[in-house]
Amino acid sequence: MTSTGLTPVHLGRTGLRVSPLCLGTMNFGPQTSEADSHAILDAAAEAGVGFVDTANVYGWRKGEGWTETILGSWFAQGGGRREGTVLATKLYGSMGDTPNETGLSALAIRRQCDASLRRMQTDYIDLYQMHHIDRSTPWEELWEAFDVLKQAGKILYVGSSNFPGWALAQGNERAAARGSVGLVSEQSYYNLLQRTVELEVVPACEAYGIGLIPWSPLEQGLLGGVLRKAREGRSADPAQVEKLERHRPAVEAYEAFCDELGEDPANVGLAWLLHQPAVTAPIIGPRTLEQLQGALRATEIELDEAALARLDEIFPGPGGPAPEAYAW
């Protein structure tokens, strides 16, 4: 398959180049049919979004790996689909009822990697990510397990998700001590409303050359024009309504500012992330082709200093990195 449009960026300090948007697949299966998922994957590839993220637990039918299986059937169609994709998946969550089918023990890492490879019908994973920190497994065990997978050619890079800044530093120091590359990416909950990672995680990513991959960049739709959609008669789910009421003044100001810019709120939210330090690619999770096409606009939006300052006024962050954010 051929791709056009987006300019690739490096994933953190690595030589690996990825698209500046990452296609999240969490909706594939439960909310988006296999056929529609394949259509979105094809459209994304044609638009230059070749960075695809999934997880063994996606599909949310325990042990089945539904979403990974959908990706596998797409890769099996050939046409350069696998070769044109930087494939990222994750492990940690429970994939069965026995003790070693969850977490990050060496046994779990080996078993879950092999299972993901089978489901996705590929012989290697470009970026293998720990979905959550496992405080019960020492770094020595983690790095040995990942290094074995690298030596076998089953994975190329290792990343993390939902790790605190101290764990990013600790993990990469332990990796350096054994001559391993260490963590090259971190997936964090990060958007205009959720900026806690600016205290510790973002500085750690900058210091260690870790590419930051924000998930939930639109705060589950709250930054995607929720008030505009309500005026058009589109309803929101109860959880979103409750969250909107807590943040209504900021969301109202945000949507008004987006109107001044002449841009869709969802695209401004993504563009803001692309202007932040250490960010490689926000994860977009389109359920439809229309949502995918809209997200592509974000890479073209340039926010000047005045616009960034206004967004900081509407959604104040923690005040910068620690400790200056809370101490002299």
Residue 176, domain member (yes or no): yes
Radius of gyration (C-alpha) of the chain in whole angstroms = 20
Residue 192, domain member (yes or no): yes
* 208 tagged catalytic: no
Residue 228, domain member (yes or no): yes
Rounded-to-integer distance, Cα 42 and Cα 119, Å: 19
Report, as an integer, the average pLDDT of 181-195. Answer: 98
> According to the model, what pLDDT value does residue 312 have?
98
Q: Which two tokens stand for residue 320?
A: 């910068």
Residue 2, domain member (yes or no): no
Residue 61, domain member (yes or no): yes
The residues with which 185 forms a beta bridge, in sequence order, are 159, 211
Tell me: pLDDT of 22 over 90. yes
Tell me: pLDDT of 3 over 80. no
pLDDT band at residue 161 under the 50/70/90 scheme: very high
Residue 136, domain member (yes or no): yes
What type of residue sits at position 96? G
Rounded-to-integer distance, Cα 248 and Cα 9, Å: 35
pTM listed for this prediction: 0.95
Residue 4, domain member (yes or no): no
Tell me: pLDDT of 23 over 50. yes
Count of domains observed in the chain: 1
> According to the model, what pLDDT value does residue 300 have?
94
Report, as an integer, the average pLDDT of 51-68. Answer: 96
> According to the model, what pLDDT value does residue 229 have?
83
Beta strands 51-53 and 86-91, pairing class? parallel
Q: What percent of the chain has pLDDT over 90?
A: 89
> According to the model, what pLDDT value does residue 240 have?
80
Beta strands 9-10 and 86-91, pairing class? unpaired
> According to the model, what pLDDT value does residue 2 have?
44
> According to the model, what pLDDT value does residue 5 have?
66
Pick the catalytic residue: 58, 128, 190, 208?
A: 58
Report, as an integer, the average pLDDT of 31-35. Answer: 95
Residues 6+ apart with CB under 8 A from 277: 202, 205, 206
Please check whether residue 186 is in contact with residue 159, taking contact to mean a CB–CB distance below 8 angstroms.
yes
HEC states along the chain?
CCCCCCCCEECCCCCCEECCCEEECCCECCCECHHHHHHHHHHHHHHCCCEEECCCCCCCCCCCCHHHHHHHHHHCCCCCCCCCCEEEEEECCCCCCCHHHCCCCHHHHHHHHHHHHHHHCCCCEEEEEECCCCCCCCHHHHHHHHHHHHHCCCEEEEEEECCCHHHHHHHHHHHHHCCCCCEEEEEEECCCCCCHHHCCHHHHHHHHCCEEEEECCCCCCCCCCHHHHHHCCCCCCHHHHHHHHHHHHHHHHHHHHHHHHCCCHHHHHHHHHHCCCCECCCEECCCCHHHHHHHHHHHHCCCCHHHHHHHHHHCCCCCCCCCCCCCC
Tell me: pLDDT of 14 over 90. yes
**Which of 158, 70, 157, 156 lies closest to 119, judged by CA?**
70
Give per-residue pLDDT as tens, 272-321: 999 999 999 999 998 888 888 889 999 999 999 999 999 999 999 999 99
Domain with 302 in it: 9-314
**Which of 50, 84, 55, 49 lies closest to 67, judged by CA?**
55
The residues with which 155 forms a beta bridge, in sequence order, are 125
Q: What is the mean pLDDT of the chain?
A: 95
> According to the model, what pLDDT value does residue 71 have?
98
CATH, residue 145: 3.20.20.100
Residue 326, domain member (yes or no): no
Give per-residue pLDDT as tens, 223-254: 999 998 888 777 677 778 888 999 999 999 99
Burial letters for 91-123: b for 16+ Cβ neighbours within 10 Å, e otherwise? bbbebeeeeebbbbbeebbbbbbebbbebbebe
Give per-residue pLDDT as tens, 80-128: 999 999 999 999 999 999 999 999 999 999 999 999 999 999 999 999 9
